[in-house]
Structure 1
């Protein structure tokens, strides 16, 4: 697959056929993804391919409550767990909307996480992350730059194999239990769970905001950077 086509058509896929993802295919995906950029080439990731049905079932159970909360917060007009949210607003939203969200969470990926053809748990080794913003008085972002490109490379490499997938961070809300379940010890931190499989429907074209809507010249309040031939 052409690289540009892959970049413009690799969307989140949450519905999969019953066709399994062969270990040989998954091995090729990971063999390609390992070349993702990594700070100091530390390759500060550890990956667990979760196959055991009981473990998968427990991960599905753990996934449900954060997903219910996500739906309730979204329904209240909040970006779930945004660092700038007022905790009181989140508490009120959860108290008012959890019941309805429970019903909505009874379908989709949350209900079938244990049945996805390939389930991967991605951990970051905190001892290997150069989190240059660690000491700033705000939410820290920089450390993820050494791990999430690997996750994205998994999805791109999967796309080249005709496999779709989705990266979810929902289980981080239950990190302690996930780590216990998968035998992950300090200094490992759960970065994401990735579900892969043969898509029921393959995304052909994604919709995104145009370049000039988020890019300016010289300053954030500068003139929009006008990109030619963008769509």
Structure 2
């Protein structure tokens, strides 16, 4: 049995990084299905599965979507986009449904990492969500939550930092630092 911190899941969580540069290699349909399946197995309140996903591989559509964000280079350079939506028609509790969608997105990003792919969660594109919905011909009950840009990562070192647990975790009451 692996020691704490040495399990495959924990290593994937600790080593996943946002990838913003991709090769031209397309993502296989098999990998796309694995990514989507991982997303739809996220937990949701009452198992209502409030998410809807649109898979985008067409270069013309990708180009149009890239014009909806300041991060146009990331979007235009990705061979695969997955637009993630809240289905307001099936929503029962907005907060819980948004949390569920965040879990679905995280599942998909972790799965990308496991498959040797890279991905990044794009939120700034939400400023143009009406335009995105128009491009993707979405019904009005779908509300854009994020776009994931996915592909084979351009090889390079990717690092990240996090605050120490003592800065963000409290023991019993706020103000009582964890670990003191």
**Residue in structure 1 matched with residue 90 of structure 2 by the alignment:** 128
- In 2, the alpha carbon distance for the partners of 1:208 and 1:129 equals 33
Number of matched residues? Answer: 174
In structure 2, the CA distance between the partners of 1:28 and 1:202, relative to structure 1 (3 Å rule), is farther
In structure 2, the CA distance between the partners of 1:22 and 1:117, relative to structure 1 (3 Å rule), is same
TM-score, scaled to structure 2: 0.87
**Residue in structure 2 matched with residue 29 of structure 1 by the alignment:** 35
Structure 1 residue 196 displacement after superposition:
0.6
Instruction: Provide the aligned C-alpha RMSD in A.
Output: 2.0
Structure 2 gaps, min length 5? 1-6
- In 2, the alpha carbon distance for the partners of 1:176 and 1:204 equals 33
Aligned runs of 1:70-81 on 2, under 5 Å? none
In structure 2, the CA distance between the partners of 1:62 and 1:180, relative to structure 1 (3 Å rule), is same
Structure 1 gaps, min length 5? 68-108, 133-140
Greater displacement, 46-55 / 159-168: 46-55
In structure 2, the CA distance between the partners of 1:172 and 1:189, relative to structure 1 (3 Å rule), is same
Residues 1:19 and 2:25 aligned together: yes
TM-score, scaled to structure 1: 0.69
Larger Rg computed on CA atoms = 1
- Counterpart secondary structure, 1:8: helix
Greater displacement, 1-10 / 111-120: 111-120
